[in-house]
Amino acid sequence: MDAPRQHNAQPLPARTLRAPAELVAAGLLPAAALTGAEAVAARYAIAVTPAMAARIGAPDDPIGLQYLPDIAELETAAHEVSDPTADAPFTPVKGVVHRYPDRALLKPLLACPVYCRFCFRREVVGPDGGLLTEAELEAAIAWFAATPQVREVVLTGGDPLMLSARRLAWLVERLSAIPHLDILRVHTRVPVADPGRVTPALARALATGKAFYLCLHANHASEFTEASAEALARLTAAGVVLLGQSVLLRGVNDSVEALEALFRVMLRHRVKPYYLHHLDAAPGTARFAVPAAEGLRLTRALRGRLSGIGQPLYVRETPGGGGKRPVQADPG
Ligand code: SF4
């Protein structure tokens, strides 16, 4: 899947770009977009890894749209809310979200390798925030140990694979030692956005005696590279089960061809497409919205083109924290 990057002759960045001026200097954003991008940067985190910078051919291509700041982010539509999945009311202790009886989220940190312009937690994620202190993490682990109806822990954030391999191994070991936790799961962008982080030590950190599922967030086939293929192969070899989750996004994957290509590349990398998310109404994300009726048409069209293992469930959040529900034939 290697290719893109033809729009300019700038050398590829060697490190993650975080400042709008760096994005302009790298040829990813036009100079005319600098002032607007700086206004966005004052409110929301920005990060473009070398792996993703190499996949951007233009600011409005499917990869550029996902990661490059746009002044439209500062316009909040009437229906957009800062916590669309309503994590806060379901937080029994800091870092834990308990919404469903048998499973709960653990958010050890709120940093990510990249910052997606459509993120549903965009008001809280960022490079400086959200790392649980030792005492907070112990309190969160204690909550899981004292809550026997919870059988599955979902590590999310932020991106838990931003922790060091050593810290991750410690956390996985502590959670695995809780007898009633049968399943550990991690939600991550790292294997595609920053595949070099998936070292043999990191893959080993996830290998546990318990079932470990890694849910990979990717939205377009061209996010997959040779490096991400190697990262995913390392995880598979460690015994990690790979699932895929994607967001249906205008301009990124809002065609049956783009979705088919995405799910085919996932399957080739042993990633089972699990969820296709309807966009959550986070502030300043309206440009990515695809109406549910259109999403349903697309997912129905996919059924004639891909086998059952390539069909994710198309879901949306219920307002007020009611959780995910399959999208039915409801317009919107
Ligand atoms: S990686 Fe996930 S949590 Fe981080 S910015 Fe993207 S969507 Fe949000």
Neighbours of 266 (CB within 10 A): 26
* Token duo for residue 302: 């996919």
C-alpha 90 to ligand 1 mean position (Å): 20
What residues of the chain score a pLDDT lower than 50?
9, 331-332
Atom of ligand 1 nearest to the CA of 110: 3
**pLDDT given at position 87:** 82
**pLDDT given at position 207:** 87
**pLDDT given at position 11:** 65
Q: How far apart are CA 113 and CA 111, in angstroms?
A: 7
**pLDDT given at position 2:** 56
242-286 residue pLDDT tens: 999 999 999 999 999 999 999 999 999 999 999 999 999 899 999
Indicate whether residue 105 lines ligand 1 (CB < 6 A).
no
Q: 146 and 280 in one domain?
A: yes
CATH of the domain at 105: 3.20.20.70
**pLDDT given at position 332:** 46
- 27: domain range? 20-74
Atom of ligand 1 nearest to the CA of 121: 8
**pLDDT given at position 38:** 98
C-alpha 75 to ligand 1 mean position (Å): 20
Q: Which residues contact 90 (CB under 8 A, 6 or more apart)?
A: 97, 98, 99, 321
Residue 80 maps to a domain: no
308-325 residue pLDDT tens: 999 999 999 887 767 889
Q: Measure Cα distances from 219 to 202, 250, 261 in Å.
A: 24, 11, 10
**pLDDT given at position 319:** 75
Indicate whether residue 116 lines ligand 1 (CB < 6 A).
yes
Q: 260 and 208 in one domain?
A: yes
DSSP string computed for 167-187: HHHHHHHHHHTSTT--EEEEE
Q: pTM surpassing 0.75? A: yes
Q: 159 and 30 in one domain?
A: no
Q: 113 and 65 in one domain?
A: no
Indicate whether residue 115 lines ligand 1 (CB < 6 A).
yes
Ligand 1 pocket, mutate which of 125, 163, 279 (most atoms under 8 A from CB): 125
